[in-house]
């Protein structure tokens, strides 16, 4: 029963609203009263009768006119009129937001989507498609005629059924003298920038006012019908508003209502007054601290029954900005002939509009604006040379907010150079870029109470003399104004010398120092030196003296014929963040002192990366690789020096340690170049040895000599790496190094052999059982090169494997130099075996088959004894005589042919 009543009521409602348009049936007729008000076309679909949508979304309108105008005004105007109907309309920003989230922003693409798909994206029952079909403007004297046409269609999103359409072209004459509050404010804001938007607004409003009334919608009781709004305008279009500005808003609608307006979410419910029948006005003064970005002004009109209508401004969002830009920084000046060039760091604000330059003849007061610019540099022209001025700069945003003024700087116009200088500087002096080049005729002395200031961009050319600083030097350039120190016509000169400067506050930055004997000499002084290019000098930087504590930071020190940096005596410089490359000798040569060498890149030098003759540097976090010499070299007389967490061009500990010489402690390194590389530990053994080694480990010169107190096993696939020059000594009666599943990599050099000897102060043959003994089969191959094996019962016992024993001395062992057993087959070449007793130099048994070539056998009890079942290949050795004494051989040994003299390549005593 209730269902029948509901259908009857809905039918009655539809009959009541039907006169606004005709249903799209065989007889399409618009009743005369409506037709007289609306001249365009409209159709109502049959499906609308029983399927009125509850929610409707208005899609972006498609522009078919091919004219670039603010056509969003047209869509918003339609929305305002449509929102007066009793449909649930989805706000435009939500429509656009949901479409964008689904990947659609182009109006043409959106209009091609099916209603069903749009319904799912937007979550509505119906969508409205819009096409802008016409836009023309014609002028006649002070009047203009604007024509706007549009075709609009509403479609059900579930059934894809046509509901309603309207199409019309509206013309409106613009011009004349406005008389209404709305007309007055629209005329006030009609600038060249937005006049076309206003014309669109006025004409679109007329176009849609009648068209929207033809859309059927459920009737409501007169008491609940909202008041009508005809127009909402304001004067905040086109520019951001700052503190103190006034925003004027006018609304036209039904008279005798309560009106207000909102500024987005920022400020709501601003009361409006009815200034004449149906016209409401309000003014809002922007206060300090008010800020709103892209806010839409929305008008509200409420009648006595509490019914409310809303109207969205269609002219575009407004911005309220009361926050001034940041103060510009790093203002600097450079004097030229009758002008001063100014520059500063660019501000980063998105709404930055311009900079304003102020000038005064005094440093604290009297500043007046003289220039404005959109760039972060300008030139003050037409001023007298040598007349000082003071400058400040401010930043302004698009709202007109102005920052506070920057700190002042001094500027002075300077006639052009060259300027010839020599002798003493006894008082504070400035060398100006505009007077460049400064030609140094003889040595320049900046005496103790004087400061020499050199402007950015200044060029200095020396005919051989140096600049000797006993006072202070402030040579601070910048990226665009490098200070250049060079020899005259590219000749050699003595460089910059800091000579025993007390309380040194000197600062040298963003400079080039070229063609000097020593680019920078620091004698018991402590200047701050950064962002300097030292190149084509003999020595880049020389630091010496116990009071020298300079900071050498982030410089480029390259292509100098000697070392990049030399540190000597008791100096303590901080050397960090520098690029030190392609120097003719070492990157850094330390001949004393305690420098901190950190986070530098030391590459491509002809000598070593870091070479330490004396001193104790701290070497941390550097990239040291690809130098022709080694990465770090420490004098044998020096103390152990730690070089932790550096990148050596490899993450292989063996390679890393091979790129050092001397007492360098590398117990951790980086796995890739700094600063991104991560530290990893390197197993470096120190102290007394014994027990078991199951991971790759290292014996290094810094902790040498090592003492083996008890048997040392190498197992679990581990290798014991031994650095050149290391001494491994064995306590009398102790065990030796036993190879289980492991090996030894002991490659010394001719001048830095690895020694396996007795720890006794009076060593004698037989002090310890053996140096190295292989007792199990393993895939790990051992290498012994440039080693010495002395004072054992046996030097080496090779039961298994194929180790290389080359270029070594095996001497003074009581039983044998090398004992071979089982199926071992060591390579024994270019060695000297001397003074081995008992069974002699080499003893073979079982199935052993050593390869013995190019060795020197001298003064052994026997040269070779073999009880092996395999014939021993021992050709091309020197046996002490030619022909050799046959009594030196026992067993099946091929010792012919022999060498006629000592093997010249063999390593010997």
pLDDT single digits (tens) 310-320 = 998 887 788 99
Using alpha carbons only, how large is the chain's radius of gyration in Å? 47
Q: In this structure, what token pair is assigned to residue 40? A: 């365009």
Q: Which of 28-37, 112-121, 258-267, 500-509 has the lowest mean pLDDT?
A: 28-37
In a domain, 424, yes or no: no
Give how far Cα 369 sits from Cα of 72, 284, 704, Å: 41, 31, 74
> Which H/E stretch holds residue 5?
helix 2-17
Q: For residue 236, give the nearest of 297, 325, 289, 311 by alpha carbon.
A: 297
The DSSP secondary-structure symbol of 334 reads E
CATH number for the domain spanning 277: value is 2.60.40.770
Burial of 602 (0-12, 13-18, 19+ CB in 10 A): buried
- 264 and 286 assigned to the same domain: yes
Evaluate whether 165 touches 43 at the Cβ level (below 8 Å).
yes
Asked whether residue 143 carries a pLDDT value surpassing 70, the answer given is no
In a domain, 89, yes or no: yes
- The 10s digit of each residue's pLDDT in 466-487 is 999 999 999 999 998 999 999 9
- 262 and 352 assigned to the same domain: no
Evaluate whether 785 touches 724 at the Cβ level (below 8 Å).
no
- The 10s digit of each residue's pLDDT in 515-547 is 999 999 999 999 999 999 999 999 999 999 989
In a domain, 588, yes or no: no
Confidence category of residue 245, pLDDT binned at 50, 70, 90: very high
Count up the domains in the chain and report the number: 4
Residue span of the structural domain in which 400 resides: 332-412
- 18 and 73 assigned to the same domain: yes
Mean pLDDT of 482-500: 97
Confidence category of residue 140, pLDDT binned at 50, 70, 90: low
User: Could you tell me which residue, 592 or 66, shows the higher pLDDT?
Assistant: 592
- 102 and 189 assigned to the same domain: yes
Per-residue confidence (pLDDT) for residue 342, from 0 to 100: 95
CATH number for the domain spanning 160: value is 3.40.50.10610
9: CB partners within 8 A, 6+ apart: none
Asked whether residue 191 carries a pLDDT value surpassing 60, the answer given is no
CA atoms of 53 and 163, how far apart (whole Å): 9
In a domain, 723, yes or no: yes
Residue 427 dihedral angles phi and psi, to the nearest 5°: -135, 170
Give how far Cα 204 sits from Cα of 146, 152, 173, 197, 826, Å: 10, 13, 13, 10, 101
Among 280, 301, 321, identify where a domain stops: 321
Give percent of the chain with pLDDT exceeding 90: 77
Evaluate whether 298 touches 310 at the Cβ level (below 8 Å).
yes
- 149 and 230 assigned to the same domain: no
Per-residue confidence (pLDDT) for residue 2, from 0 to 100: 39
Among 286, 321, 356, identify where a domain stops: 321
- 157 and 246 assigned to the same domain: no
Asked whether residue 3 carries a pLDDT value surpassing 70, the answer given is no
Q: In this structure, what token pair is assigned to residue 158? A: 């579930």
Q: Which residues pair with 670 in a beta bridge?
A: 679
Per-residue confidence (pLDDT) for residue 71, from 0 to 100: 72
Confidence category of residue 905, pLDDT binned at 50, 70, 90: very high
In a domain, 562, yes or no: no
In a domain, 679, yes or no: no
- The 10s digit of each residue's pLDDT in 854-895 is 999 999 999 999 999 899 999 999 999 999 999 999 999 999
In which order are the strands placed within the sheet that holds 352-360?
368-373, 352-360, 388-397, 409-412
Asked whether residue 227 carries a pLDDT value surpassing 50, the answer given is yes
Per-residue confidence (pLDDT) for residue 19, from 0 to 100: 38
In a domain, 233, yes or no: yes
886: CB partners within 8 A, 6+ apart: none
- 67 and 21 assigned to the same domain: yes
Residue for token pair 């000297």: 832
Mean pLDDT across the chain, nearest whole number? 90
Q: Which of 2-16, 394-408, 703-717 has the lowest mean pLDDT?
A: 2-16
Per-residue confidence (pLDDT) for residue 420, from 0 to 100: 97
- 279 and 361 assigned to the same domain: no
Asked whether residue 708 carries a pLDDT value surpassing 90, the answer given is yes
Among 145, 180, 212, identify where a domain stops: 212
Confidence category of residue 152, pLDDT binned at 50, 70, 90: very high
Give how far Cα 235 sits from Cα of 176, 189, 249, 282, 283, Å: 20, 6, 7, 11, 10
Confidence category of residue 220, pLDDT binned at 50, 70, 90: low
Per-residue confidence (pLDDT) for residue 4, from 0 to 100: 38
CA atoms of 334 and 878, how far apart (whole Å): 81
In a domain, 189, yes or no: yes
Burial of 161 (0-12, 13-18, 19+ CB in 10 A): middle
CA 869 vs. chain centroid, Å, equals 69
Q: Which of 55-64, 303-312, 354-363, 650-659 has the lowest mean pLDDT?
A: 303-312
Q: Say whether 407 sits in a helix, a strand or coil.
A: coil
- 786 and 846 assigned to the same domain: yes
Give the Cα-Cα-Cα angle 145, 72, 107 (nearest 5 degrees): 120
Cis peptide before 410 (omega within 30 of 0): no
Mean pLDDT of 325-343: 94
Asked whether residue 103 carries a pLDDT value surpassing 60, the answer given is yes
User: Could you tell me which residue, 660 or 90, shows the higher pLDDT?
Assistant: 660
Evaluate whether 703 touches 687 at the Cβ level (below 8 Å).
yes
Give percent of the chain with pLDDT exceeding 70: 91
Residue 224 dihedral angles phi and psi, to the nearest 5°: -100, 5
Per-residue confidence (pLDDT) for residue 10, from 0 to 100: 36
Confidence category of residue 637, pLDDT binned at 50, 70, 90: confident
- 403 and 269 assigned to the same domain: no
- 76 and 120 assigned to the same domain: yes
Evaluate whether 654 touches 683 at the Cβ level (below 8 Å).
no
Mean pLDDT of 215-223: 64
> Which H/E stretch holds residue 440?
strand 438-446
Residue 118 dihedral angles phi and psi, to the nearest 5°: -65, -35
User: Could you tell me which residue, 77 or 898, shows the higher pLDDT?
Assistant: 898
CA atoms of 701 and 483, how far apart (whole Å): 46
Asked whether residue 239 carries a pLDDT value surpassing 60, the answer given is yes
Per-residue confidence (pLDDT) for residue 25, from 0 to 100: 36
Residue for token pair 């001063």: 340
Confidence category of residue 139, pLDDT binned at 50, 70, 90: low
- 388 and 240 assigned to the same domain: no
């Amino acid at each position: 029963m209730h269902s029948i009543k509901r259908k009857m009521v809905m039918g009655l409602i539809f009959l009541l609203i039907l006169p606004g348009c005709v249903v799209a049936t065989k007889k399409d007729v618009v009743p005369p009263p409506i037709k007289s008000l609306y001249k365009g076309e409209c159709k109502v679909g049959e499906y609308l009768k029983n399927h009125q949508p509850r929610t409707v979304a208005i899609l972006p309108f498609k522009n078919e006119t091919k004219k670039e105008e603010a056509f969003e005004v047209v869509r918003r105007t339609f929305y305002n009129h449509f929102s007066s109907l009793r449909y649930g309309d989805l706000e435009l920003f939500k429509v656009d937001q949901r479409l964008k989230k689904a990947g659609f922003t182009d109006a043409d693409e959106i209009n091609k989507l099916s209603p069903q798909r749009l319904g799912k994206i937007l979550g509505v029952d119906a969508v409205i498609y819009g096409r802008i079909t016409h836009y023309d403007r014609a002028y006649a004297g002070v009047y203009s005629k604007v024509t706007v046409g549009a075709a609009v269609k509403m479609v059900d999103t579930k059934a894809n059924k046509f509901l309603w359409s309207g199409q019309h072209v509206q013309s409106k004459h613009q011009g004349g003298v406005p008389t209404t509050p709305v007309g007055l404010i629209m005329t006030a804001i009609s600038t060249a920038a937005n006049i076309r938007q206003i014309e669109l607004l006025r004409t679109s409003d007329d176009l849609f006012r009648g068209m929207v009334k033809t859309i059927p919608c459920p009737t409501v009781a007169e008491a609940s019908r909202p008041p009508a709004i005809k127009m909402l305008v304001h004067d905040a279009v086109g520019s951001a508003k700052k503190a103190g500005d006034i925003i004027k808003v006018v609304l036209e609608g039904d008279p005798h209502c309560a009106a207000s307006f909102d500024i987005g979410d920022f400020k709501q419910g601003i009361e409006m007054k009815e200034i004449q029948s149906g016209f409401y006005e309000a003014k809002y003064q922007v206060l300090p601290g008010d800020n709103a970005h892209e806010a839409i002004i929305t008008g509200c009109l409420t009648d006595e029954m509490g019914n409310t209508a809303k109207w969205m401004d269609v002219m575009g969002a407004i911005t309220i900005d009361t926050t001034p830009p940041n103060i510009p920084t790093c203002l600097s000046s450079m004097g030229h002939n009758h002008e001063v060039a100014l520059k500063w760091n660019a501000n980063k604000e998105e709404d930055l509009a311009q900079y304003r330059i102020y000038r005064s003849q005094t440093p604290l007061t009297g500043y007046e604006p003289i220039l404005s610019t959109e760039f972060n540099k300008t030139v003050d022209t037409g001023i007298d040379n040598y007349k000082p001025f003071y400058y400040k700069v401010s930043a302004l945003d698009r709202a007109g907010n102005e920052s506070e003024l920057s700190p002042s700087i001094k500027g002075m116009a300077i006639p052009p150079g060259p300027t010839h200088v020599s002798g003493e500087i006894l008082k504070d002096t400035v060398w100006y870029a505009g007077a460049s080049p400064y030609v140094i005729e003889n040595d320049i002395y900046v005496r103790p109470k004087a400061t020499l200031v050199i402007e950015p961009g200044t060029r200095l050319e020396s005919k051989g003399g140096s600049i000797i600083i006993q006072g202070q030097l402030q040579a601070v350039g910048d990226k665009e104004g490098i200070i250049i120190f060079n020899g005259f016509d590219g000749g050699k000169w003595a460089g910059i010398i800091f000579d025993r400067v007390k309380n040194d506050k000197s600062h040298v930055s963003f400079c080039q120092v070229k063609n000097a004997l020593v680019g920078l000499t620091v004698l018991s002084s402590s200047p701050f030196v950064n962002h300097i290019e030292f190149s084509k000098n003999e020595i880049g930087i020389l630091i010496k003296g116990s009071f020298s504590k300079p900071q050498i930071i982030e410089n480029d020190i390259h292509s100098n014929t000697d070392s990049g940096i030399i540190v000597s005596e008791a100096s303590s410089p901080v050397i960090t963040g520098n690029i030190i490359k392609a120097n003719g000798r070492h990157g850094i040569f330390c001949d004393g002192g305690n420098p901190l060498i950190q986070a530098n890149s030391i590459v491509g030098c002809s000598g070593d990366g870091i070479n330490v003759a004396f001193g104790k540097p701290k070497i941390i976090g550097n990239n040291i690789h690809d130098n022709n010499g080694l990465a770090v070299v420490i004098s044998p007389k020096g103390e152990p020096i730690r070089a932790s967490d550096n990148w050596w061009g490899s993450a292989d500990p063996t390679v890393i340690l091979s790129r050092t010489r001397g007492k360098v402690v590398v117990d951790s390194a980086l796995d890739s170049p700094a600063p991104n590389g991560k530290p990893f530990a390197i197993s470096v053994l120190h102290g007394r040895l014994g027990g078991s080694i199951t991971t790759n480990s290292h014996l290094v010169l810094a902790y040498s000599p090592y003492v083996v107190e008890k048997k040392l096993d190498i197992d679990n696939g581990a290798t014991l790496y031994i650095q050149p020059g290391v001494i491994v000594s064995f306590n009398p009666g102790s065990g030796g190094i036993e190879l289980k599943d492991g090996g030894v990599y002991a490659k010394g050099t001719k001048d830095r052999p690895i020694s396996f000897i007795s720890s006794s102060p009076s060593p004698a043959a037989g002090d310890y059982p053996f140096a190295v003994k292989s007792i199990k089969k393993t895939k790990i191959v051992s290498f012994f090169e440039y080693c010495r094996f002395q004072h054992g019962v046996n030097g080496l016992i090779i039961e298994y494997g194929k180790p290389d024993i080359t270029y070594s001395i095996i001497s003074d062992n009581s039983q044998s130099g090398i004992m071979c057993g089982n199926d071992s087959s060591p390579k024994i070449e270019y060695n000297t075996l001397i003074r081995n007793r008992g069974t002699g130099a080499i003893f073979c048994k079982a199935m052993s088959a050593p390869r013995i070539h190019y060795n020197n056998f001298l003064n052994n009890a026997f040269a070779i004894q073999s009880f092996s079942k395999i014939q021993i290949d021992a050709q091309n050795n020197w046996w002490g005589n030619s022909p050799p004494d046959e009594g030196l051989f026992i067993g099946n040994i091929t010792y012919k042919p022999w060498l006629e003299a000592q093997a010249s390549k063999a390593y010997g005593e």
